[in-house]
Amino acid sequence: MIKCANFLAGEEDKIPEDGGAMGEMGGAPAQAISDEGDKIPDYALVAADLKAIMDDPEWDDGSLAPVLIRLAWHSSGTYDAQGKTGGSNNCGLGGATMRFGAEKADPENAGLDLAQAKLEGVKQKHGAGLSYADLWILAAYVAIEHTGGPKMEFKPGRVDAADGSKCPHGDGAHNPNKSRLPPADLGPSKDAPKGCPMHHKEQPTIDAVRATFERMGLQDREVVALLCGGHVYGRCHRERTGYAGPWVEEMTIFSNEYAADMVGDKWVEVTHESPDCPHDEVRPAPGKRQYVSIGPGEEEEGGGDGSGSERDGPPKQMMLISDMALLWDPKWRLWLPDYA
């Protein structure tokens, strides 16, 4: 089982008084009554209703859990620890800002309007006292627990922004989409000599991802924990982002598969035109590149435990350049065995 559960929950001893990174990502101070005097919902009943919709045979891989976790993370990942803006409650300015303007149109958030629509029935049932900002975070907590992850204490109290005037978005310094979220791929360094180490070749993406997470106040180990816990879920959709396929084979289960496969499998770069791409399911759109697994490393092949020679061909798994950065960057790779 992956070991980033406490980070995802927001460790109590890491939540500063002023609502820093962990406070924004893990919970906001509880409030008794909303500004409008709306009745505070019974969050146990909200959680039960969320659990009831979690398994959806008409959705990707039969579960809403991955997309709801992504919704909560992208809502939280706009946090700026120094500027005190962004995050799931937008530092008191009003959360759930992804419903508006530039954040709604952010390509990094492609498809999350569908996740929001899936939650609308629960929102309407429990009334105005349930904020979208709280609902999105609680949905992710329920999703993690429902898929075998840890039970985490939910802290309500986030309020919704009334409009998009306070939407947090970036300046393009680290993501050309002017998103505050990390970029998937900024291309190889133009100055990298042929045959240089991968962390030099892919330095533009690595530097941008590190700077993005540093803005949130996260250290290297926390970055590895977050990605290992988040990308064990779900898949990329070629029609939305240009990238294609799941990160892991069991993409609706909380596990250590992401980190274990990153370390243990052989990975090759492919483009849309690559003749050796093992499956069309993991073939990116034209103009995009990603890494795909061609199976376990030699030390893991041929076992009788459901891996290696027992597979019917290479697994249908992919990694973004920003994922592979965890393997290439010496500071991030140091922490990967803790989650593998």
Q: Name the residues annotated as catalytic.
A: 74, 247
The tokens describing 207, both together, are 């530097």
Beta-carbon neighbour count of residue 56 at 10 Å? 14
Note the Cα 192 to chain centre separation in Å.
29
Interatomic CA distance for residues 236 and 311, integer angstroms = 22
Scanning 148-298, the segments in alpha helix (DSSP H) are 198-201, 203-215, 220-230, 238-241, 257-264
Amino acid identity for residue 323 in this structure:
D
Interatomic CA distance for residues 167 and 240, integer angstroms = 22
Interatomic CA distance for residues 113 and 118, integer angstroms = 9
Contacts with 211 (C-beta within 8 Å, 6 or more apart), sequence order: 173, 174
